[in-house]
Structure formats: C-alpha cells, structure tokens
Chain A
Amino acid sequence: MEGIAQTQAAQRPGGMEGFVADWSSDQRAFKNVSWGKAMMWIFLLSDTFVFGCFLLSYMTVRMSTRVPWPNPSEVFALEIFGTHMPLILIAIMTFVLITSSGTMAMAVNCGYRRDRGRTAILLVVTALLGATFVGMQAFEWTKLIHEGVRPWGNPWGAEQFGSAFFMITGFHGTHVTIGVIFLLIVARKVWRGDYDDGRPGFFTSRGGRYEIVEITGLYWHFVDLVWVFIFALFYLW
C-alpha cells in the first residue's frame, strides 16, 4: 500500500494549496495515510473529548464544593530516608512514562527499518515501563487508601478530591494498562515475524504490517500526553 501512494506524493503541491487539492480529490482525503492510522487519529480526537470532559468536570466540582481542597503537594509527599519530598512519586512516574514514549519512538523507527529483534525488544521495554507506571500508581492508591482517602471522603478536605483522583487516574491507568497489553501483543507479532510475511490477524484476517507499530505508538504517545495534563491540572494546581 505504501509503495503506490509514494509515487504520487511527489507531484502534490504543498501548503494551503495542497490541503485544498487533497480534500477536493477523489479516493482519499488524507493522501498516504492508511485506514488504520486515520482511524487511530480520529479515535484519539474522540478520546481527547473524554479526558477533556473528565478534567473540566474535576475543575467544576473543585469550584462547587464549599470545603477547602487538600494540598496535593502534601498529600502526594513521601518520606524517603527521613527526607520529606513533595510529589516525588508523581515525578518519578511522569519520568517513567515520558521515557516510555522515547523507547516507543525508537521502536517505530526500528520497525520501519525492519529490524525485527530491536523493535520487539523496544516494544517490550516500553510495555515494562508502562507496567512500572501502573505499578507505582497502584502503590500510590494503596498508600492513599491506607491514609483514609476514599472516593466519598478523605481526612483533609473536600470529598471531591478523592472522587476526582480515583476516577481520573483510574481512567488514565486503564488506558495505560490497555496500551501495555497491546504493546505486548504487537511485540509478539513483531518477534514472530508476522509483519514481515503479512500473516493475517486472528480476528480480522487482515495482513499485518510494520505500520501497526506506529499506530500503537500513536495511542501510547496520546496516553502520555494526557498524563501531562493530569499532572499539571490535578497534582500541580
């Protein structure tokens, strides 16, 4: 599919003219974009609205409650070797997740160079970093629950703090977990050589190709990006 499209790409105009030409052309509005990639982008747009609604709702209830909001820097602080460190766990989690975006990008690069082994290893590393993130989130949840934070109340202030925290991080964590599962499935397929010989998928009976790595990567980067917003709006604010 890629080969044919690229021959035509050379003749297409750029800029606004190219935009108009593409949208007024036949067959495809996004030239050189496969069905799968177009679908992932549109899905991510829809998912952006989901997270946008979650974050806006959190901000609204933070305004509507009459009880003071707990201070996130204090709530998410850890005592490490006797030192009181605000937000340290969240900082490490953020670092891990952003690192995983780096290994994901490297996996996509290796995939397009048909480096089967390295792609698979990098995908597994990405999945491990993602799993580490989820693990640390589980630790954070456990710690807060031990300290008495519940979705319906907490010792320090507005009960919406716990509600929004568990809901938003839970929803994001679910996204990461789904991503980890997909990364492992794709890693297995890469390792087995499915994308080299175009072996059809078990459910879809469509031939596999290395672009799947990139499409999985789009989802993964999106999940990371969403985390940045959650970090900024929930933990830092």
Chain B
Amino acid sequence: MSIASGSVDGIPAAEVPDVELYHPRSWITKWVFSQDAKVIGIQYALTATAIGLVALVLSWLMRLQLGFPGVFDFITPAEYYQFITMHGMIMVVYLLTALFLGGFGNYLIPLMIGARDMVFPYMNMLSYWIYLLAVLVLVASFFAPGGPTGAGWTLYPPQSILSGTPGGQDWGIILMLLSLMLFIIGFTMGGLNYVVTVLQARARGMTMMRMPLTVWGIFTATVMALLAFPALFVSAVMMLLDRLLGTSFFMPALVEMGQRLNHEGGSPLLFQHLFWFFGHPEVYIVALPAFGIVSDLISVHARRNIFGYRMMVWAIIIIGALSFIVWAHHMYVSGMNPYFGFFFATTTLIIAVPTAIKVYNWLLTLWRGDIHLTVPMLFALAFIVTFVNGGLTGLFLGNVVVDVPLSDTMFVVAHFHMVMGVAPIFVIFGAIYHWYPKITGRMLNEVMGRIHFWVSFLGAYLIFFPMHYIGLLGVPRRYHEIGETAFVPASAHTLNAFISVMALIVGAAQIVFLFNLAWSIRRGRSAGDNPWNAASLEWQTPQTPPPHGNWGQDLPVVYRWAYDYSVPGAAQDFIPQNQPPAKAAE
C-alpha cells in the first residue's frame, strides 16, 4: 500500500504505511470470529445487554421481595443474597465495563481517530471470546449445585467462603472468581489494543488534543482499568486458594457452629484494600467514558463547541489519577486510623473539583446553544441532572462522620445507583440513539425513543429519591426482610412498595427500547451518512455503515478539532474534522 508523501496544509506526512488488514474469506470469519473492531464492538454490546437483562430481572425479584415481604415466598433469604450479588456484579463489571470499553471502545475508537481497525485485530477478537467465556461461566453458576454466590458484590471474606453464605462452600464462589479472572484476562487483551490504538495509530493531523472527548474518556478509563484490574485479579487468585487449598490469606482464626476452622492469621482487611483499590477506580472506569460521550452528545445536539475542551481533557486525567488514592473511603466502617480517614476523605472531596469543572463546562456548552431536544440530547441532559444528584450525596458519604451512620443503609444504595447506575446507563442509551444510525444506517424510532426516555427518567427518580429518604430513616440495606422494627415507620413500607412498582414499570420500559432496536434495523427511517450533522470523524466515512477497513482507499486527514459547530462565516453550521481549511471558508 502506498504512503502519502510530504505534508499537506501543514499536516505532516504519514509516519507508518497503511496496514494490510486481515481479509475474511467466509461468513464465519466475517461475522462470528470477526477481527473487525466494529463487529467485535457489536458482539460485546449484545452480550453485555443480554447478561444485563438477567441482572434487570434479578433486580425485579429483589424489589418484589422488598416491596411486598412475605408475599413472594419462593424468594428465600439465601436466594435474595444471590440476587443482590449477581445483580451488582453483572451490572458493574459484565454490563457497564464491557459495554463502555468493549462495546463503544471497539466501535468508536478506530472510527473517531481515523484508523482502519484496532492495532492487533486478532487479539481483539480473542478478547471478546474470553469475555463471552467469562459470561458463560458466570451464568453457569446459576445452575451449579448450591447456586451462585450470595456474598454481596464485594465478596468480602471471610463470609464469602464460609458455609453460611450461599455458594460459599459450593460452586458459587469458585465460578464467580474464575469468571472474574477470565474477564480480566480478556479485558487486558482488548484494553491493550484500545490504549495502543489511541496512542500510536491516529490519522494524519489527529493530535491528542483534537480527539473527541469520547475517545479521551474511553482511553483514560482503559489505562485505569489496566492498572486497577490487577488488584482484583490477585485478590481473586488468593481467595480461590483460600477456598480450594485451605490457605489463609484472608481468613483469620474462626469458629463456625462451634467448630474451629482450619484457618489462621489471614487478613480480611487485605482483601478490602485490594478490592477497593480496584473498586474505586472501577467507578470512574464506568464514569469517564460516560463523561466523554455525554460531552460529545451535548456539543452535537446543542450545535456549540464544547466549552473548555482542554479543561475537560485535564479534568478526565486528574479524576482518573485521583481515583487511585481514594479507595479506603469505602472502608470507613471497617475501622482505620483517624488520620487515614482524614486523608481519604480529603482526596475524595478533592475529586469534586475536576468533576464540578466538567459539570460547569457542560452547562456552559448548553448556554445559548441551539438545543435540539432529540432523544440522545434528552438522555444527555438527564445524565447531567442525575450525575449531579448522585454526586452531591457522594459529598455526604465522603465524610467519615456522615458515612459511618449511613453506610449500611439504603441511602448508600440510592447514592451509587444514581451516580454509577442510572447516570452512566442514561449515557449508554443516549449513545445508542446517537450512533445507531452509523451502525445500522437507520434511525431509531423517535416516538418509542421518547416513551422510553420519559418513563426511564421519571421512573428512575421515583425509584431512587424515596430510597434516599428511607435510607435516612435508617432502613438497612442487604436485608431480606425488615420485619416489625420500632424505628422504621409504616410509611417506609408504603414507600418500599411504591419503589418496587416503579422498578417494574421502568424495567418494562426497556422492552420498548429493545423492541425499537430490533424494529428499526429494517423499518427505521433511512439515516444517510451524517443525520446529526456532526463534525467528528466517525460521521465522515465514505459508506454507512462503514465497511471493514472503515475508510475505503484513502485514510482521512484531520485539520481541526471535533467541535467546529456554528462557526461564524462557515457555509454550514458544522465543519467536519477532515475538511481542509481552504474549503471550509467557502
């Protein structure tokens, strides 16, 4: 393949010759064992959605039990714990992480930076298949003797591997840990690809500071994941050894049912440190791609350049770095030296600064914008509101004295669902409505989209606002049934029932969304190449949906950032990134 010589319009010549892509020869290598990042991204997204639906159904079952205790007597306490555990683990790791990084990362990175594919397509393919294997192992635990683990998604030892916990002395915890290890191995293969592709395979003219914020978010999150997942991997190895070989890494001397166990001298706190060294960055591994994507959605649909682009980039990087030194704020109730608590509370609250910069910049982007209330924009706005709500309760919980009484109540459940459950999922929805036309060539149905949005948005608030309140009343989390307690008023029970009904309704609204996805593939309005008049590179492909190799004969050359909207004097209200300066002035 040829290599363009010399610089054009001040854009340096290509440093690396165009890559020779793998050419699939059969339907199987094209669509199943595909090495095309776009197909892999879709495979990741579909698998994550499928397992996410399992987690959704689990949340329904939990809500049925909480809202109407005693009515659904097929839900035993053991099963309730299993539902909690699997719901949390699936949503955080197998849905959000996989969908943002594996799904959107694979689909968008090469297109947005002007590459033909990920740098190592074969390894990228392996990444998906190992992820699928991890999901299958996870699903297998539902059918294993004793069922899945019921240790809570944090899997705290010693309880997670004791016989009193569902799956603790059965298959549940073993399959859970194996599945996590597989996920990490698979993710590492993909993650290395995303990072190297962003660093080393950008188009001519695509500097780091011209990349769309979506790429910045996914890139930073992937770097963080590559540094945070090792801690989870190591703790999974050690817990597996504790469970299978009877070592005592995490197990102190214990007496269970009058029996002295064969463990001694281990440190349960060690697990908590390792877990949260992974667990807190994980929050931002999910949030940073959401930040990036929402920035792009707001800019495109408000027809304004993103406000303070450089600040946005630095805020992403600073949040990513800070998130590695805040982990022990999840462990205030575990007990620690007060100076440690002070340190971790301080670092936690400092994160509010770059986060606030981002929120202000989103608002200033909207300020006097030509706001189009399209479905992606609605979800983007819903994200900002929800994220601010969830973030503010985070400020409460970051303080040791406030956290200690609230830590084991529904307040915390409401907080993290707002900030890392509902908010990122709104971004996922917005992103799907936004990029579906690029992926399929057709628009998603607008009416169904709006129904989906309003039910999900209002419903989410009707679920989680009351939950803060019952948390403040002192209703504990992780309880199968509260029963008759003096400090829980009858109104809390009514609210619990209300929340459960809303959860069922919001869940049902997702069926509308899934139907829309399937229906619009054939019946949706034809989208054309660039239905939103967006400036970033993925909308400038010669064909929609983009074929293998993305760009046809010649790779794109980038002349500007991704946010040239409503530029005074320009012919259109947007200037594509690959439009030469001379042409833009016409």
Which residue in chain B gives the minimum CB-CB distance to A25? B207
Q: A5-B15, A205-B22 are in contact. Are A65 and B264 (CB under 8 A)?
A: yes
Q: A46-B230, A57-B274 are in contact. Are A28 and B16 (CB under 8 A)?
A: yes
Q: A4-B3, A26-B204, A29-B208 are in contact. Are A35 and B120 (CB under 8 A)?
A: yes
A151–B231 CB distance below 8 A: no
0 or 1 for each of A191-229: is its CB under 8 Å from B? (1 = yes) = 000000000000111110000000000000000000000
Which chain A positions have C-beta within 8 A of B32? none
B221: Cβ under 8 A from any A Cβ: no
B249–A1 CB distance below 8 A: no
Bound together, the chains give a CA A35 to CA B123 distance in angstroms of 13
Give 7 A-B contacts (CB < 8 Å), ordered by A residue: A1-B16, A27-B203, A35-B120, A46-B192, A60-B270, A159-B264, A204-B22
Task: Return the contact of A35 from the options B119, B206, B227, B235 (Cβ within 8 A).
Answer: B119
Which chain B positions have C-beta within 8 A of A207? 20
Q: Say whether chain A's binding surface is mostly helix, strand, loop, or mixed.
A: helix
Which chain B positions have C-beta within 8 A of A29? 199-200, 208
B201–A60 CB distance below 8 A: no
Task: Return the contact of A50 from the options B22, B119, B123, B233 (Cβ within 8 A).
Answer: B233
| A138 smallest CB distance to B (angstroms) | 18
Binds B, one of A36-44, A77-85, A127-135: A36-44
Q: A61-B270, A64-B266, A67-B264 are in contact. Are A39 and B196 (CB under 8 A)?
A: yes
Q: A23-B208, A53-B234, A152-B247 are in contact. Are A167 and B15 (CB under 8 A)?
A: no
How many chain A residues touch B (Cβ–Cβ < 8 Å)?
A: 51
Binds A, one of B48-56, B58-66, B136-144, B237-245: B237-245
Bound together, the chains give a CA A151 to CA B241 distance in angstroms of 9
A160–B200 CB distance below 8 A: no
Q: A35-B119, A204-B122 are in contact. Are A64 and B270 (CB under 8 A)?
A: yes
| A231 smallest CB distance to B (angstroms) | 20
A76: Cβ under 8 A from any B Cβ: no
B15–A64 CB distance below 8 A: no
Q: A57-B249, A61-B270, A163-B241 are in contact. Are A152 and B192 (CB under 8 A)?
A: no
0 or 1 for each of A128-163: is its CB under 8 Å from B? (1 = yes) = 000000000000000000000001100000111011
Which chain B residues numbered 210 to 262 have a C-beta less than 8 Å away from chain A? 210, 226-227, 229-231, 233-235, 237-238, 241, 245-249, 252, 262
Q: A27-B203, A64-B270 are in contact. Are A163 and B119 (CB under 8 A)?
A: no
Q: A26-B11, A151-B241, A159-B248 are in contact. Are A38 and B200 (CB under 8 A)?
A: yes
A159–B120 CB distance below 8 A: no
| A68 smallest CB distance to B (angstroms) | 11
Bound together, the chains give a CA A163 to CA B262 distance in angstroms of 14
A28–B238 CB distance below 8 A: no
Which residue in chain B gives the minimum CB-CB distance to A48? B230
Task: Return the contact of B188 from the options A5, A24, A38, A46 (Cβ within 8 A).
Answer: A46
Q: Which residues of A contact B (CB under 8 A)?
A: 1, 4-5, 8, 23-31, 33-36, 38-39, 42-43, 45-47, 49-50, 52-54, 57, 60-61, 63-67, 151-152, 158-160, 162-163, 167, 171, 203-207
Q: A29-B199, A49-B230, A163-B247 are in contact. Are A61 and B267 (CB under 8 A)?
A: yes
B511: Cβ under 8 A from any A Cβ: no
B195: Cβ under 8 A from any A Cβ: yes
Which residue in chain A gives the minimum CB-CB distance to B16? A1
Bound together, the chains give a CA A159 to CA B266 distance in angstroms of 9
Which chain B positions have C-beta within 8 A of A162? 247
B227–A45 CB distance below 8 A: yes
Task: Return the contact of B199 from the options A28, A36, A171 (Cβ within 8 A).
Answer: A28
Which chain B positions have C-beta within 8 A of A50? 230, 233-234
B202: Cβ under 8 A from any A Cβ: yes
Bound together, the chains give a CA A45 to CA B225 distance in angstroms of 12
* Total inter-chain residue pairs, C-beta < 8 Å: 161
Bound together, the chains give a CA A39 to CA B124 distance in angstroms of 13
Which chain B positions have C-beta within 8 A of A171? 237
Bound together, the chains give a CA A8 to CA B204 distance in angstroms of 15
0 or 1 for each of B36-72: is its CB under 8 Å from A? (1 = yes) = 0000000000000000000000000000000000000
Q: A53-B234, A61-B265 are in contact. Are A26 and B245 (CB under 8 A)?
A: no
Bound together, the chains give a CA A5 to CA B262 distance in angstroms of 61
A8–B265 CB distance below 8 A: no
| B25 smallest CB distance to A (angstroms) | 11
Q: A50-B230, A57-B274, A163-B248 are in contact. List 8 more A-B contacts (CB 8 A).
A: A4-B15, A27-B202, A46-B230, A53-B274, A61-B265, A151-B246, A163-B247, A204-B120
B192–A42 CB distance below 8 A: yes
Which chain B positions have C-beta within 8 A of A151? 241, 245-247
0 or 1 for each of B10-44: is its CB under 8 Å from A? (1 = yes) = 01101111001010000000000000000000000
Bound together, the chains give a CA A102 to CA B241 distance in angstroms of 35
Bound together, the chains give a CA A61 to CA B250 distance in angstroms of 8
Closest 7 CB pairs of A and B: A65-B265, A49-B230, A163-B247, A64-B267, A53-B234, A152-B246, A50-B230
Task: Return the contact of A26 from the options B17, B196, B207 (Cβ within 8 A).
Answer: B207
B570: Cβ under 8 A from any A Cβ: no
Task: Return the contact of B196 from the options A5, A35, A204 (Cβ within 8 A).
Answer: A35
